[in-house]
Each structure stands twice: as C-alpha cells, then as structure tokens.
Chain A
Amino acid sequence: MFNDILNDDFSSAKGPKAIPVTLSTRIRLARNLREFPFPGRAETSQRRAVLTKCMEAMHDIKDLDSSYAVEVDDLSELERQILVEKHLISRELSDMDEASGIILSKDRNCCIMINEEDHLRIQVLQPGLNFSKVWKRVDALDSNIESEVSYAYDGDLGFLTACPTNLGTGMRASVMMHLPGLVMSKNMDKVVNAVNQLGFAVRGLFGEGSDASGSIFQISNQQTLGESESAIIERLDKTLQNLVRQEEFARKKLLQDDGRRLIDKISRAIGSLKSCHLIQSAEAMDLLSLIRLAADFKMLPDSYRSTADRMFIEIQPGHVQLAAGKPVEPDDRDYLRASLLRQKFAKAPFIKTDG
C-alpha cells in the first residue's frame, strides 16, 4: 500500500492541470485536544492516547474514506524523506519517534499530521490558486473532527496552540509560486519587502545555500489572531493576484528588453537537460524553472509545465534513491538524476527563431 503512495504520480492527482505562476494552494489548521498537554510537554502515554483518539475521530469521516493511516515510527528513514519532499509532512514530524501519525486522503490532497508541534495539523492542498475550494474542504474536515473530539479553545484567544504564533485561527494559508521573472529582473528583494509589510512571509522553497533554486517561493500569512479566516484569506488572495500580475509584467518586460538573452537561456536549459550526465539538484531546479517558463511563453508544449512540476519533486535526493531502489551516494545520485532528466526531455523540441 505504501509503495503505491510513494510511487504515485502526484501532479496527476485529481484537480485542475498545472497553470502558469501558481503551483499550489494550501491551508493548514493547528488544533489541540482539551485536557491533554501539547505534544512537546506530553508523556508518551498521553501522546499515544491523543493519537488513538484522533485516529478514531477520523475513522468515520466521509472525506477520509479509504485514506491511508500510518504511525511515523513504522516508516523507514527514506519513506519519511519522500513524504517531506512531496511537501505532505513536515521535517519536524518526520523526526518524531514515538506516537505520531499521518493520515493521507485517497486523493492525496488532504494530509493530517498527529502529534507534530500540535496534536493536529489538518492540511488541504490543491494545484493552482484556489483558496475558496481549499478552505471549504479544510473547514468541513475540521468541523467533522471537532464533532468527535473537544478542542482546546478560548473565547478570547481562539484555538490554543503550542506556539503563540499560531494562536487564534490556527490557520496558515500559503501558495507556492514560480517567480522567475521577478528573480531575473532583480525585483525579488523589493517584492519580499512589500509582501512582508502586509504581514505575509516569503521563503525560497527548494535548494540548499545559494538563492532560491528554481525561483519557487512559498508565501503565507504570519498573523493568525485578530482577523477572521476569511479576512486573512481575502487579503492574501488579493496580494497574490497582484503578485501574479507583477510576475507576468516582469516576464513581458524581460522578453521585450532582452528577449535574445532569455531565449538563449531557455534553449541552453533544454540542451543541458537533454544531454547532462551528472547534475546536482540545485542546477536541475534552475533548468526546470526555465522549462516551466518556456511552457508559459508557449515556446514548449503545455505538457512540459507538468513535467517540470513532477521533476521538481522527483529529482530530490529521497526520490532519486527510491527510484534506484537502494541508498545512493551523492555522486551517484547526480548521475541517476541526470539520466532521469535526459530521458524525460529526450523528445523536447528546440526553440526555433527567425535569425
């Protein structure tokens, strides 16, 4: 069963197909049960009691029919890493060794973490930019769970969480965005500042060291108290739509001002992906980012957008080792990663220009 999940092609999961700029929308709610200390302060027996209670509470929820439930310590290191790379669970949860659990819905768009920093982290995600749909589902799921358990809640402070930064709604709404236009035109610092001013956090999503590889950023609300869920979402949504317009504008300008350089970059990326024999993940991310951009510019067929999205995940170290069926040293990973990419882009057309 678990192998199905690991090998599952997530980007083909039900839902709209990949669109330019916005990769996915996610909302997570932090919740704790009354009368139990938060996981960080709880005895193992208490954590186990919470885990059992939560698993039972979710047993009869229709939205979670045929979902997959597992305890974290029943998963191997590699399996945990895979789930982290797929952005289904947090690194923190993957490090938990006792009485933590995961429930993953059949369509893989809903993932509940039990005994992470809070007793419950209920998350729903969806490709593209679609807060209303994601909120509807996570809200219903939360209400269903709440009909089975009692939440720690205070009339003034809202949902009580281990960290006061999550207090109130317990909600973190976020969107993963592909912003190569703003990065290449060196506008990202300005954007980060402006978005921060509005109480939203921006972070590069992939890559170690250097700058956000792949030009992929996650933007989320930082404040959870003093505003309703719908007010937070509305504000964030407006900001993100504005950001999409700025990204589109930056791309148009790059093409107008220095189109030859941009086409050169994209063409070289296609060439590299078709012919590399050793490649590290940071470089691969940057090349894939250019592929996604080329699909948005209609320089490549639409299908390459979802190929890029799938490869963003599949070139990560855990996934490369999963495909190899064994632990692999970094040098060998670079080799395996290169052959995967070569194969995926073997048929990619080169860009033709008049000159």
Chain B
Amino acid sequence: MKCHQCDKQATVHLTQILNGQMHKMDLCESCAQAKGVTNPENLSIGNLMENASDVPEGSDSPMTCESCGTTHSEFKKGGRLGCEACYHVFRPVLDPLLDGMHAGNKHLGKIPAGSKSRVQFEQSISQLRSQLQGAIEEENYEDAARIRDQLKELESKEQANVEG
C-alpha cells in the first residue's frame, strides 16, 4: 500500500471524514507526522481536514459560537470545537458529519453520576413540551393548561437548584 502523499510505503491507515463522506487514507510515517496524526490516541480528522480543498476561503458563514468565539470556518478547517456551547451552535453542520463518522448519533454509553438527574430533568422537560405542543394542536386546552403547570413547576425547581 503506497502513501497518498508520497510514494513511500504506507503504515498509517486512517478513515477520514470530509463533509460527511468517508475517505480512506493511507500515509507513510513521515507524512502522517507532518499532518500531526502520529499518535493514534489523538486520531483526529482535524489535521486531515486542514488541506481539504473543498473548504472555500473567506466564505465564513455567520455561524459563530458566542461563548468561545469559534467560527464555522475555523471548525471546518481545524475540525475542532472550542467549548460545550459549540455543540449547540454547530449542531446543524455537525449532525451530517457525525452520521459518517460514528456508529450512530445517540450516546449509548456511560452516564456520569452528576449528570443523571440533569439528564432526566432535560428529558422530562422535552417530553412535556412535546405533549404540550400535541395538546395545543388537538385544541385540548384543559390538558394543555395542566401540562403547562407541570412544566412551570419543574422549571422553577431547577431554577431553585441552580441558585441553591
């Protein structure tokens, strides 16, 4: 197997994802090192995406993370996000990437103990919201009022938790 960049024997074999498309990539040790992928612990599409010709220069979309300042074009170029909030901001461009990159798009692994209550809380909120939406669409105002009260109660509880 030859290196994609030069003619040497390829020893680093990667699957690279560009714009949701899978690409196989074989590199020799020196080219891999030049691209910063020498350590498999750090295997990352970021450094590989750097040279992607299909990232148009200066076509910065207005998508920017207000929390850390990461812009869409920075993400496209570097392949890295800057903070937690980035995951919300870039979710629309991230989702198709994740589809090509991973086995699925929903986390099925470990849940940190400290997040269990928070995760449950977020799940019940979103459940109630969709129930509320349904009730309103069916013009079932009695249910809607009840669900709205439940929501209010849950949210004020969370508010108290945050402040306390």
Contacts and interface: CB of A to CB of B under 8 A. Distances in A.
A40 B97 contact: no
Interface in B1-37: 1, 8-9, 11-15, 17, 24, 28-30, 32-33, 36
A114 to B, nearest CB: 14
Contact of B112 (A151, A165, A189): A151
A318 interface: no
A92 B46 CA distance: 14
B108 A196 contact: no
Interface stretch (B52-60, B114-122, B129-137, B140-148): B114-122
B49 to A, nearest CB: 10
A215 to B, nearest CB: 11
B104 interface: yes
A157 B94 CA distance: 11
B105 interface: yes
Interface in A192-251: 192, 196, 199, 201-204, 207-212, 218, 220, 222-229, 231
A203 B31 CA distance: 13
Contacts of B102: 167-168, 223-226
Contact of A38 (B41, B80, B98): B80
- The residue in B1, B11, B13, B119 that gathers the most chain A C-beta atoms within 10 A of its C-beta is B11
Contacts of B29: 204, 207-209
B43 A201 contact: yes
A65 to B, nearest CB: 22
Contact of B87 (A142, A157, A174, A192): A157
Contacts of B97: 164
A153 interface: yes
A40 B82 CA distance: 7
B51 interface: no
Interface in B69-91: 69-70, 79-84, 87
Contact of A155 (B38, B68, B107): B107
A37 B83 contact: yes
B107 A158 contact: yes
Interface in A143-167: 143, 146-147, 150-160, 162-167
B101 interface: yes
Contacts of A169: 107, 109-110
Contacts, number: 185
Contacts of A211: 9, 11
Given A90-B39, A155-B119, A165 B101 contact: yes
A143 to B, nearest CB: 7
Contacts of A158: 107, 109-110
Contact of A92 (B39, B79, B94, B107): B39
Contact of A151 (B38, B103, B114, B123): B114
B44 interface: yes
Given A37-B82, A146-B114, A207-B11, A168 B107 contact: yes
Nearest to A207: B29
Given A164-B97, A165-B43, A209-B30, A226 B104 contact: yes
Contact of B114 (A90, A116, A150): A150
B40 interface: yes
A293 B37 CA distance: 29
A142 B104 CA distance: 24
A53 interface: no
A203 B115 contact: no
A155 B122 contact: yes
B2 to A, nearest CB: 11
B69 A157 contact: no
Contacts of A220: 40, 43
A207 B33 CA distance: 11
Given A143-B113, A164-B97, A210-B8, 14 more contacts: A38-B80, A41-B68, A41-B82, A91-B38, A117-B44, A151-B115, A153-B111, A163-B45, A163-B46, A165-B45, A165-B101, A201-B13, A207-B29, A227-B104
Interface of A: 28, 32, 34-38, 40-41, 90-92, 116-117, 121, 123, 139, 142-143, 146-147, 150-160, 162-169, 171-172, 174, 189, 192, 196, 199, 201-204, 207-212, 218, 220, 222-229, 231
Question: Which 4 interchain pairs have the tightest Cβ spacing?
Answer: A226-B104, A158-B107, A204-B11, A41-B82
18 contacts: A41-B68, A90-B39, A90-B42, A116-B42, A153-B115, A155-B123, A164-B79, A165-B44, A168-B107, A171-B109, A192-B13, A199-B15, A201-B40, A203-B40, A204-B29, A209-B8, A210-B8, A231-B108
